[in-house]
Structures are given as structure tokens and as C-alpha cells.
Amino acid sequence: MALLEVQNLTKTFGGLRANNNISFSVERHELIGLIGPNGAGKTTLFNCISGHYPPTSGKISFDGKDITGLKAHDVSRQGVARTFQVYVASGDLSVGENVMVGCFMHTHSRNKAKARAEEIMKDLGLHTFADYLVGELPVAAQKRVTMATALASDPKLLLLDEVAAGLNPSEIEEMMTHIKHVHEDLGVTVMVIEHVMELVMRVSQRVIVLDYGKKIADGDPETIAKDQRVIQAYLGERYVREHAEELT
Amino acid sequence: MVVAGAVFFFFLIFPFFPLSSFAMATMIQFFMFSIYGMGWNTIGGYGGQVDLGKAQYVGIGAYTTGVMLIHWDVPFWASMPVGMAIAVMWSFIIGYPLFRLKGHYFAIATIATSLVLKDLFTVWPFVGAARGLEISPIQFTPPDFLHLIFKEDIYYYYVILGFFFTGIVYMNWFRKSRLGYQLRCIKDNEDVARSLGINVHWAKIKTYAIATAFVSMVGSFHVCYIKVIEPVDIMSLDLSILIALMAMLGGAGSLWGPIIGAAVLIPFKSYLKEWLGAAAGLAGIDLILYSVIIMLVSAFEPRGIWGIVEKARRRKRD
Amino acid sequence: MDILFGSIVAGVLLGMVIALVALGLTIIFGVMDIVNFAHGEFLMVGMYAGLLSAKATGVDPLLTLPVAAVVGFLLGALCYVGFIKFLLRGPMVAQLLGTFGLMLFLRNLALLIFGSSDRTVHHGIIVGKSFDIGMGIIVPATKLAAAGLSVIAFAAVWLLMNRTKIGKALTATALNAQAARYMGIPTEKMNTLAWGIGGASVTVAGALIVNFWAVNPFMGLLFTMIAFAVVALGGFGSVPGAFFAGLVVGLIMEIPGFWDFFTYTFDWQWMADVPMTSLKYMWIYVAYFVIMVVRPRGLFGWKQ
């Protein structure tokens, strides 16, 4: 039984169909990449899965349970965690405190939460930043904080939303190690939205491609990279026509 | 920590200094408003939802204790928890729909509920309608610890100091508690909070209930201390605003903020009134000055005094 | 029966004036998302302005509207430029408390200058006169004139917002300040203008109201809450919404009249014992609460 099953998911906002009849499944311990041009509906898809948006139609099952339409806090208690692209650090919580909030999902004890938070921070190389405000950190570290916070809630499925955006090449390498660590050593099933191609192609076992709200491809990275429809989505029809020979 | 200890020692021995009764009364007011502010701070500071209707709970606490005392001779220590219970119940009833709102809509709605309650109390004969309640000390023989009726302020001083201390201990625990962390996460970013399993709506309602309990407790004290209450005073918008303002001035969202705010504003208000208000025709100037301060603080240092302190601290660390 | 119709007529007439009171609030909110707690105090200023200019010039109070309008425009614009502008930079707590400070400031300034007693208009062409419009309903001429002039003022503002270039610029800023700026519309000037127009409409309403409602420095809060209820019902930012909502709220303010009607009709003693007149403002607060919980967007609102 797949860990996550999305069936005919559609999400409309007024006249806009952000997700259009999307279906796919994610098996336990997979690492799936989710790509597509800007506005393809990737974050919307995450929002539907995590319960932040109620789907307009379709069905989402997680670990055998139907979670369609469940509120976000209930979905996360089922074992789905995610990072957010825009993370507003209003200056109230420090890095350590942020991670602790995640830990508090499973415990009421402050000491236990603190201990677990320290473990997670050490694991992701954030230990030295524990008392700083998130906003004071360099971008790469900020992204890791969002990952740590999500991991603190002990999820079965982790949704990472553009954690490599704005990072330089060496930081991207580092982020890849962390993602691999989470996936392989901690055994978490991971789904990654990315625009940084080299990261997502190298790290994913399978890649799903969205364009204009529809799923246009689903397969291993090599095949996807050569898929006409995918190239068309990113580079446009005209480019594909004009460079038809090179691309085959 | 050392500073806190020294200050607290000062509070303990304060009544033994040779001071005017005015100074004593001002100190008592300071403690009362500190506790009001601490309560407000839970939902307004840590929670980020500006509540401008706290006065209704002051009223519930005060009236419950007042009515139970006058009609049935109930001791303060029994009527105060009852007042808190009623207040908290009411806070749950309006909290459930109330917390669907945010920002100014929420603030205005809190004002609306407070005014509704005030109007109801103004026409309800059982609580004395517009005339309110009056406790005549001759009914009791002070010092009466059971009913909290005393002749000298010093007794009231130590009672409220006790509440003050309890309040601080609780607040210190609260901000490090699970709910405290969750609340601050909600204030930062509600979506993130939800993704961490936090039921945002319910967390806010719980916090609101805590704030209510604090405020109602002091309301009960108020009626025993001042011995006269009227709806137009005790449930007024002005009181609600004063509470919110003190917490904000001192620094909303911090432990010491509301206390600092009260420490600055209460003496300021009291002494200003003394010096200026007395002169005929100058009534209202104290409030004008006071309102200008509100405007200046809001426009230029919204994080309050403690915010300035924190900024300095961080700069030192880097 | 005439109680019922009397109340309805009174409610509608009052409602038209209330709509004008709320108009300023909704315009300001539409353009820049700030809620002015001192709105009722602006109204109060308008009432004093109308009162004083009538006394000073000996002219009928209804003709003092231009004075009130100018006073209101300046008051609004000055408040923005001298104070509100700075508030906008800060967090919402500061904004709320800041305009509240303004409210206290204006209220106490008025107290200082005018004293605390009620004042009302005593002279004038139409003061004290009334019309009998049939069915035994008597309408004071002041209320009728106020309602009529409110509608005219309302229409004037609506025309301004929708048919003039400057009005359209304001609406554009309200819909999307950034986009408007890219098109060359200066946001700061628009904000100042919004406060000016907002201030002017409410002071004109004040100058109308003072003909049948006594003014004292403390009445601001009630009208601020009334204005909020209207704007909530009509939809924050919606001009036509303010009009219809104003009528509804005007009718709500006549609840004691309706209550009397039902008391007579059903002849239940308990109804007569309820002091509905003292509670009549309470319904406005209740209305605000219910609207915000049930339909926060209001009737015509496009901003949440």
C-alpha cells in the first residue's frame, strides 16, 4: 500500500484551475521530485496534501486513511510535515525555540522537547545557531531551520518546498547531503519541490512534472530529462521545434 | 535576576517607609495594573491578537465578588474563583466565534462585546443597574481577612503583592510552556503552526481564557479595595485601552514588559492628575498629555521599552 | 400601527445620515487598510464646527456645511500627514493604539475648549418645525433635511470616486497601491486625499446631525462603533455598501420603536418591562459581532 495516494485532485481558485485532475502515488521510503515551470501548481499541490487548502475535488489517502479535506493540524498529526517558502521570522522565536515547537507535537514536557530539538539541530548542523533569531541566519541555514522544525514533528512524509532556492553551488551540495541523510538514514519519505535542476535530478528516485496544473510526466530522472513534453513545458514549443534534432 | 531580587525585596519592605497614603495607593494601583497587563499580554503580546475588551472581565470578577458579598456574605476567597469561573465561561462562549477574526476586526469585536456587557449591566437591577454596587465597611469588622475588608491600605498592599508574585511566577512558566511556545509560533506564522499539529483556533481560545482569569481575579480584588463599582467605570473602554496600552508601552510579548509599562504609566497618570487636574479649568490636560504619549509611542517605538532593551542586548552580543 | 411606520420612517431617515457618517471610514479603509478609532471624534468636530459657525455668522446651520467640509478635509489631511503616516510603518497593535490615542486627544481637547455640557442648535429656519406626512407620522424638518442633504453629499462623493480622474486614481490606489504607483499615481498624495475626503464627509454629517442631536465631547465612541457596524455590514471599502448598510443600521437604532409596536400588538407585560431604550445601542454592537462572524465580507465588500 502506497504511503500517499493522490487521486484526481483538482483545486480551483475562482476561475483558475491550479491543480487539474492530478493523480500519483508515493511509496514508503521513496524520494520524489516535483518540478514544473513557475505557476504550474506545485506549492498548491503541497498545500492540498498538507491540508492547508481544501481540495475542490478528488481524493487524498495517507497511510491507508482518507485525509481529503482534513484540517492542516490534523493532517500533520497523521505524519505529514512540510517546509514553507516564505518563512516570516518576526523576531520572536529563536532557532532552538522554533524546532522545539515541532517537538511539542508529540510531548508535553519541555525538557523532552528541548533534548529532542538539540538532537535534530546537531543532526542538521544548526547547533551553534540555537539562540539566534531565524532572520539573523544566512539563507542556507534558514532553510535548514525550516527542515529541522518540520523534522521535529517526527513525520512519515516530509514535503520540502524549494529548500535550495537562493543557495550557491557549495550550499546546494550541502543541502543535498542533508536531504539524502534525512531520506536514507532517518528513513523519512520525502517529496521535493525544486527549481534547481541539478539537485532534484541527482537526488530523486522518481520525478513528477506539472505544467499549468496538470501532471505531464512521471518517471525516473533520466527519462524525464529527455521527455519532449517536459522540455516543451520549460522551454516552450517553438524552442522544441527549432532544436528538434538536438533534443532527440 | 539579581536586579529582580532587589526590586522584589524593595516591594516587600515598601510599606514600612514613611510615605503618604497617596504613594501607597499608587503602588497598589501599579500592582493591579501589572497583573491586568500580564493577563492581556498572554493573548495580546504572545498571541499577537490585540484585545481591547478586557474591562468586561474586570467587571465580571468585580460584580461576582461584590454581589456574593453583599447578598450572601460570601468570603472573597470563595467568590473570587467563582468570578473567575464565570468570566472564563463567558470567554469561551464569545471566544469561539471571536477568534475567527484577526487584526482590527478582532479588536473592534472585542470592544463590541465589552460594550454589550456594559450596557446590560447598566440596566440589570440585580447588580444595581447604573448606580452599581457599594460595599459599606460597617457591615464588617475590619481587618476582615475572609471578606478582604480592611481599614488600612497596608493589608491590601500585601494581598495584591501576593497576587503579583503569583502572576509573575505563572507568566514565567507560561511562556516556557507548550502552549506558550505554540502561541508564539502562531504569532509568527499561522500556517507553520498548523503544519506542526497546532490547532490554532483552540490555542487562542485557551490563552484568552487565561488572560480572562488574570483580569477577573484583580477585578474581584478591586471591588473589595475600592468598595464602589459602576458599570460605566469598571467596564469602560477606557480601562480596556489603558490595560492594552501599558502592556504595549512596556513591551508586549515579554515577561517584564507589562510591568514596566505599568511602572511608567501609573505613577505618571496619578501624579499628573494631582498636579494639573486640581487646577480649575485644566481638567483633561492630563489626559491630553497622556494621549500624546500614546500617539508618540505608537508611531515611533511600537515594541515598547523592553523592545529597546532587547535591541541593545542583541547589539552587545554581536 | 403608526408607531411601526413612524419607526420605519425615522430609521430610514436616520440611516441616510448614518450612511454619510460611515462613508469616510470606508473610504479611508479602502485606500489604506487602517481603521480610524477617532472617526467618531471627527464627527464631533464637525458638529462643533457646524454649531459654532452658525452661531458666529448667524446663518442657518444647514448652510454651514461648506465650513464643516473644509474643517473636516483639513483635519483629515493633517492627521494623515502629521501622524497616521508614521503609524502605517509599524505593527497593527501600534496602529490601533495610535488612532485610539488620537481619539483621546481630540476628545479631551474638546473637553478643554467646550466643556462637558450638551449643546445643540436652537436657531434656524427649519429648527423646531416638522412635517406631517400622513398616517399620523410627524417628521422633524431637521431630520428630513439632514437625510436629504446626506443623500446628496453621498451621491457627490460617489460621483467624485467614480467619474472624476482623481476619484478613479483613489479607487485604483485602493484596489492595488503598488500597481497604481507604477502607473504614476502618487500613493502619499492619494492617502492624504483619502483622509481629506473621509474627514470632510464625516464632518459634514456632523454638521447635519447637530441640528437634531446634542453634541458633547464624549459622544464620539458611540458613533465610531456605529460607523464600524455600518462598514462591516456594507463591506469594508465599499461605497454603495455603506449606503445600504447605513439604512439597516438606522433601522436598528429604531428598535425601541419596533419593540413598543410589538408590545402593544401582543400585549405581553414582560415586553413593556424591558428597558429597550437604554439598550438600543447594544444592538449595534451585537450586529457588528454577528456580521463579522457570519459574513465578514459584508454585503458588498471586496477586502477582507
Give the residue from C125, C118, C126 showing the smallest Cα distance to C48. Answer: C118
Q: Do B192 and A72 touch (CB under 8 A)?
A: no
The residue extents of the domains of chain A are: 4-79+155-247, 87-154
Kindly list the distances between the CA atom of residue B150 and the CA atoms of A169, A241, B83, B142, C111, in Å, as whole numbers in the listed order: 74, 94, 21, 5, 37
Whole-number pLDDT of residue A103: 92
What is the residue type of C75?
L
How many Cβ atoms sit within 10 Å of the Cβ of residue C162? 12
CA distance to partner chain B, nearest, from residue C225 (Å): 8
Burial class of residue A66 in the structure, from the number of CB atoms within 10 Å of its CB (0-12 exposed, 13-18 middle, 19+ buried): exposed
CA distance to partner chain A, nearest, from residue B188 (Å): 6
For chain A, say whether B184 makes contact (Cβ under 8 Å).
yes
For chain C, say whether B107 makes contact (Cβ under 8 Å).
yes
For chain A, say whether B189 makes contact (Cβ under 8 Å).
yes
Q: Which domain holds residue B231?
A: 25-236
Residue C211 lies in a domain: yes
Q: How many interchain CB pairs under 8 A, B with C?
A: 130
CA distance to partner chain B, nearest, from residue A113 (Å): 9
Q: Give the integer Cα–Cα distance in Å for C166 and C169.
A: 5
Q: Do B200 and A73 touch (CB under 8 A)?
A: yes
What CATH number was assigned to the domain covering residues A4-79+155-247?
3.40.50.300
For chain C, say whether B120 makes contact (Cβ under 8 Å).
yes
List phi, psi (to 5°) of B306. Answer: -65, -30
Average pLDDT over residues C147-160: 87
For chain A, say whether B316 makes contact (Cβ under 8 Å).
no
Q: Tell me the chain C residues in contact with residue B241 when contact means C-beta distances shorter than 8 Å.
A: 97, 100, 104
Query: Nearest by CB to A104, which of B182, B189, B195?
Result: B182
ipTM for the predicted complex comes to: 0.86
pLDDT (tens digit per residue) in C175-193: 777 788 888 888 888 889 8
Residue C304: pLDDT band (50, 70, 90) is very low
Q: Tell me the chain B residues in contact with residue C83 when contact means C-beta distances shorter than 8 Å.
A: 295, 299
Q: Lowest-confidence range among B247-251, C42-46, C201-205? A: B247-251
Q: Does residue A175 carry a pLDDT above 80?
A: yes
C-alpha cell read off for C96: 490601533
Q: Which residue of C has its CA nearest to B116?
A: C282
Name the interface residues of C facing B (CB cutoff 8 Å).
Answer: 35, 83, 86-87, 90-98, 100-105, 108-109, 111-112, 221, 225, 228, 232, 275, 278-279, 281-282, 285-286, 288-289, 292-293, 296
Q: Do A101 and B195 touch (CB under 8 A)?
A: no
pLDDT (tens digit per residue) in B8-32: 888 888 877 777 778 888 899 999 9
Average pLDDT over residues C130-143: 74
Give the residue from B90, B249, B220 showing the smallest Cα distance to B160. Answer: B220
Q: Give the integer Cα–Cα distance in Å for A89 and B64.
A: 43
CA distance to partner chain A, nearest, from residue B177 (Å): 7
Q: Tell me the chain B residues in contact with residue A102 when contact means C-beta distances shorter than 8 Å.
A: 196
Burial class of residue B278 in the structure, from the number of CB atoms within 10 Å of its CB (0-12 exposed, 13-18 middle, 19+ buried): exposed
Q: Tell me the chain A residues in contact with residue B176 when contact means C-beta distances shorter than 8 Å.
A: 110
Residues B69, B276: contact at Cβ < 8 Å? no
> Which chains neighbour B (Cβ–Cβ under 8 Å, 3 or more pairs)?
A, C
Query: Nearest by CB to C281, which of B111, B119, B285?
Result: B119
Query: Nearest by CB to A93, which of B177, B185, B194?
Result: B185
What CATH number is given to the structural domain containing C168?
Answer: 1.10.3470
* C136 vs B85, residue with greater confidence: B85
Q: Does residue C93 carry a pLDDT above 80?
A: no
Q: Which residue of B has its CA nearest to A77?
A: B197
Whole-number pLDDT of residue B280: 41
Q: Which domain holds residue C85?
A: 2-294
Residues C187, C180: contact at Cβ < 8 Å? yes
Q: Do C83 and B244 touch (CB under 8 A)?
A: no
pLDDT (tens digit per residue) in C55-88: 777 777 667 888 889 999 999 999 999 888 888 8
Task: Mutation target for B interface from C95, C97, C221, C226: give the one with most B CBs within 10 A.
Answer: C97
Residue C262: pLDDT band (50, 70, 90) is confident
Q: Do B295 and C288 touch (CB under 8 A)?
A: no
3 state SS for C219-260: CHHHHHHHHHHHHHHHCCCCHHHHHHHHHHHHHHCCHHHHHH
For chain C, say whether B295 makes contact (Cβ under 8 Å).
yes
Tell me, what DSSP letter sits at residue A94?
Answer: B
Residue A32: pLDDT band (50, 70, 90) is very high
Write the CB contacts of C223 (distance below 8 Å, at least 6 apart in sequence). Answer: C21, C39, C40, C43, C44
Whole-number pLDDT of residue A71: 92
- In chain C, the number of structural domains is 1
B84-117: b (≥16 Cβ within 10 Å) or e: bebbbebbeebbeebbebbbbbbbbbbbbbbbbb
Q: Does residue C45 carry a pLDDT above 80?
A: yes
Residue B15 lies in a domain: no
Q: Give the integer Cα–Cα distance in Å for B164 and B221.
A: 12
Q: Give the integer Cα–Cα distance in Å for B111 and C55.
A: 36
Q: In what helix (H) or strand (E) does residue B215 lie, and over which residues does it extend?
A: helix B200-226
Query: Nearest by CB to B298, which of C87, C221, C278?
Result: C87
CA distance to partner chain A, nearest, from residue B256 (Å): 15
Write the CB contacts of B115 (distance below 8 Å, at least 6 apart in sequence). Answer: B237, C225, C281, C282, C285
Q: Lowest-confidence range among B107-116, B144-153, C235-244, C278-287? A: B144-153
Q: Which parts of chain B have pLDDT scores under 50?
A: 280-281
What is the percent of chain A with per-residue pLDDT over 90, rounded to a whole number?
A: 52
CA distance to partner chain B, nearest, from residue C104 (Å): 6
Residue B248 lies in a domain: no
- In chain B, the number of structural domains is 1
Q: Tell me the chain C residues in contact with residue B285 when contact means C-beta distances shorter than 8 Å.
A: 108, 112
Query: What's the maximum distance between 2 C-alpha atoms anywhere in chain A?
Result: 63
Residue C102 lies in a domain: yes
Task: Mutation target for C interface from B102, B238, B291: give the one with most C CBs within 10 A.
Answer: B291
Residue C302 lies in a domain: no
Residue A248: pLDDT band (50, 70, 90) is low
Residue A77: pLDDT band (50, 70, 90) is very high
Q: Does residue C90 carry a pLDDT above 80?
A: no
For B88-96, the CB contacts below 8 A with 24+ separation are B88/B209, B88/B212, B88/B213, B88/B216, B90/B56, B90/B57, B90/B60, B90/B212, B91/B57, B91/B205, B91/B208, B91/B209, B91/B211, B91/B212, B92/B205, B92/B209, B95/B204, B95/B205, B95/B208, B95/B209, B96/B205
Average pLDDT over residues A3-12: 93
Q: Which residue of B has its CA nearest to C107?
A: B288
Whole-number pLDDT of residue B54: 93
Residue C299: pLDDT band (50, 70, 90) is confident
Q: Give the integer Cα–Cα distance in Å for A206 and A30.
A: 8
Residues C77, C195: contact at Cβ < 8 Å? yes
CA distance to partner chain B, nearest, from residue A168 (Å): 25
Residue B267 lies in a domain: no
